Chains A and B, each alone.
Chain A
């Protein structure tokens, strides 16, 4: 019937338009860790001058707050960009198990040879998470060392990669032809 087909097309058009909206999903976790700043190629005096009290070899600690943002289009069947439980489990495995209640200078191999600053920790977390996020795309890693200091890690290039566009097109085709 013409009328009902028209209505169906309208509905489909609305869903299609809806689907084009990119959504960002953010999950927050907290971990506590110790660290200190020391560059072995600097003299003791230089280390003190550059790093100040962060150079204390006994170390100190922070309650880090990590915000991980994934961007994508919600799956039409589930309405989700990704299952937040999967993201929670990923953060538990890759970040919490590695860093929570650890000494970042001694116990996190990914940080070996680097000064464990907010910038470097955020970049390590990005590199751990990025290849393991299979639904949506890692959009931002924000790491708070304190409420007044945080580092943001984002992808330098924000245009979708060719593969993403193909995936997007395949998704659209599947939706049209279902």
Chain B
């Protein structure tokens, strides 16, 4: 017997940004111990890859869960334009205070922004900070 299907669509986007892992809650020494070279005062950068997964019914008139004509500009505006070639600590308002721009926190912030996508459910965001590290956040896992 055929089982009911769940279909999702995943799109990959890229941005390049600098950041520094440093918390004002800790002493200089503690920051150094905790974050190591990621805490160097002038910061460093990565080529981030963001995978955005949307799910929901496939519209029979278009064959699509979400039209990339809607998703691409939305992610472009909310994430790529806001993060690409930026200093995350200085130029993304959410990271100016006590929130350290670790990729965990960047993933949560991106997910918070993308959940507002009006055309489909954004169920997952996965970020590759480098080709060796990736971070995922899913629907229920985030409080905002």
Contact = CB atoms under 8 A, between A and B. Distances in A.
Nearest to A147: B12
B40 interface: no
A137 B36 CA distance: 46
Given A117-B62, A117-B63, A120-B58, A50 B69 contact: yes
Interface stretch (B2-10, B22-30, B88-96, B111-119): B2-10
B61 interface: yes
Interface in A40-62: 41-42, 50-52
B64 interface: yes
A157 B65 contact: no
Given A42-B61, A50-B62, A155 B10 contact: no
A122 interface: yes
Given A37-B63, A42-B61, A119-B65, A157 B4 contact: yes
A23 interface: no
Interface residues of B, number: 24
A153 B3 contact: no
B6 A153 contact: yes
Interface residues of A, number: 32
B6 A154 contact: yes
A20 interface: no
A53 to B, nearest CB: 10
A151 B65 CA distance: 10
Interface in A121-178: 122-123, 126-127, 130-131, 147-157, 161
A131 to B, nearest CB: 7
A42 B7 CA distance: 24
A39 B62 CA distance: 7
A115 interface: yes
Contact of B8 (A37, A114, A130, A152): A152
Given A130-B3, A131-B2, A52 B69 contact: yes
7 closest Cβ pairs, A-B complex: A115-B63, A117-B63, A156-B4, A155-B3, A148-B12, A156-B6, A120-B63
Interface of B: 1-13, 53, 58, 60-65, 67-69
Given A119-B64, A151-B10, 14 more contacts: A50-B62, A115-B62, A115-B63, A115-B64, A119-B9, A126-B5, A147-B12, A148-B12, A149-B11, A149-B12, A151-B9, A152-B53, A156-B4, A161-B1
